[in-house]
Every structure is written in C-alpha cells, then in structure tokens.
Amino acid sequence: MILVFILLAIIVAISIFILLILFSTFRIELDNLEISNMVNKQSKNVKETEAKNIQRKNKSKDMQNINKETLILSLYLANKIKWLSIKLGDRKIKKMYHKMHLEKIDIKKLEKEFKLEDLKTLGKLKLKIAYFNLQASLGLSSPIITAFLIAGSATILSNILAHLAKDQQFQNYQYVLTPIYNNKILYKIKFNCIIEIKMVHIINVIYIFIKKGRSDENERTTSNRKSYGYSYE
C-alpha cells in the first residue's frame, strides 16, 4: 500500500512538473554586455589596478565586479511567477563553451544542412522581445561604407522590433547607432535585452525537428534498399 502511495505521489509530481513546463514562458535576459576594440591606455591601467585591489580582498567577488555581463535563463508561470532561474556570468559561459566544444562545430556543414524550411520552422517559436537597449558606435575603413552600415543597421533593427516587440511601450525599445569616421575598423557596443518564448512553442518546434530527422533517416534507408535491391555478389 505504501508503494502505491509513493507511485501515485511520483505520478502527481511528474504531472505537475509537465503542466508547469507547458504553461511557462522561457525568458532570456542579457545584461550589461559590452564589446569594444577601442581601449584607452589610461582607463585600462585604472581597471587593472582596481582588479588587483579587488582580488586581494575577495577572489570570488573579483569576477563578479570585473565581468559585469550576465545571462539569466528563467521560467515564468503565466509570464508572471518565476519558478526557475539560472544566472550565468562571463566566467561560467566561457566554461560551458569549452565543455560543449562549440568551437569544433563545422559551420560549413551546418550551412549545407540548414534549409529554408528550417528557418520557417524556427519562425514557429514566436519569440517576443520584451526589452531592448542598444548603444553602438561603429566605424569601417571608409566613411561611405560606415554611413551605409549605420543606415542599414537602423533599418534592420526597426523592422525586427516592429515584428517582435512584445508591446508598444517605446521606453522599453531603444537603440542609438553612432558612426565613427576614422578610416579604421572600430566598434563599441553596449547591449541589454530580454527575449521571451512560450515553452509550448519550443516543444512544438523540437517535435517538428525530431519528426523531420526521422523522416530523413527513413528516406536514406529506403534509397539504399532500392539501390542495392537487385545487386548480386
């Protein structure tokens, strides 16, 4: 009898967990991402001295203060109640990158296998941008190319936000693109973003890709049978 109650408790727990997943929204928060190839020697020296002082006080706090950018992955029930959250700093992201061996992925092979149908399937994720703040200063070797880059980037960003913005609160969607006319390849980017995807759509897309993978395997096996069906050794 006790085993029956334990089994029922396990079934109920699994059922509740599945329901939580189905009615949840997956939220990706990217905070304080800064990328730049413009380094001021004076500011670099100041940062180095600050880092050394912090390292003497507390090694664990050192990485949090130097690497301010964070990636937060969360699940929200009904898009309101957060019931699961994972916070990743720059150091953890780099460790995950090396452990997953992402640098060994053959990009050319992925480009061949990735088709237009896959892009349409990814569109079924129906992701929404809840917050977007971009400040970018960009410069290329030519002032004309730099001007086209800024204008083209602004057009692309406006179209993306028009289709993917979660609401019409304009204060949540801001971007400032500044050209750098210095005849050099220079960039300085500060980026904050929140992306939301319903778990139902994620599960649906995963199911479509799994189903497609099985159908591709079946086509390969049937084509091999046809080619060797009338062969003799």
Rg, C-alpha atoms of the chain: 25
Q: What is the reported pLDDT for 169? A: 86
Q: What is the pLDDT along the chain (233 residues), one digit of tens a residue?
A: 788 889 999 999 999 999 999 999 999 999 988 889 886 544 444 445 555 554 555 444 433 333 467 899 999 998 889 999 998 877 776 676 666 655 555 556 666 666 767 778 888 999 999 999 999 999 998 999 999 999 999 999 999 999 999 988 889 999 999 999 988 899 999 999 999 999 999 999 999 988 887 766 666 666 655 555 554 44
pLDDT of residue 233: 43
- The SS3 assignment for 70 reads strand
For residue 181, give the DSSP letter: -
- Helical spans, DSSP H, in 23-106: 41-57, 59-66, 90-99
Strand partners, 178: 137
Asked if 196 contacts 130 with a C-beta cutoff of 8 angstroms, the reply is: yes
User: Of 187, 196, 80, which is closest to residue 128 (Cα–Cα)?
Assistant: 196
Cα gap 92→65, rounded to integer Å: 14
Give me the helices (H) in 114-198, please. 116-122, 143-164
- Give the contacts of 217 (CB within 8 A, at least 6 positions apart): none
pTM of structure: 0.74
Phi-psi region of 196 (alpha: psi -120 to 50; beta: other; left: phi over 0): beta
Strand order of the β-sheet with 128-139 is 81-89, 70-77, 24-36, 186-198, 128-139, 173-179
Residue 7: count other Cβ atoms within 10 Å of its Cβ: 10
Domain definitions of the chain by residue range? 24-209
> Tokens 């304080």 correspond to what residue?
32
Half-sphere exposure of 181 (CA within 13 A, CB side): 4
Read off φ and ψ for residue 32, nearest 5 degrees. Answer: 60, 40
Burial of residue 233 (CB within 10 Å: 0-12, 13-18, 19+) is exposed
What is the length of the chain?
Answer: 233
Write b or e for each residue in 84-114: b if 16 or more Cβ atoms lie within 10 A of its Cβ, otherwise e.
eeeeebbeeeeeeeeeeeeeeeeeeeeeeee
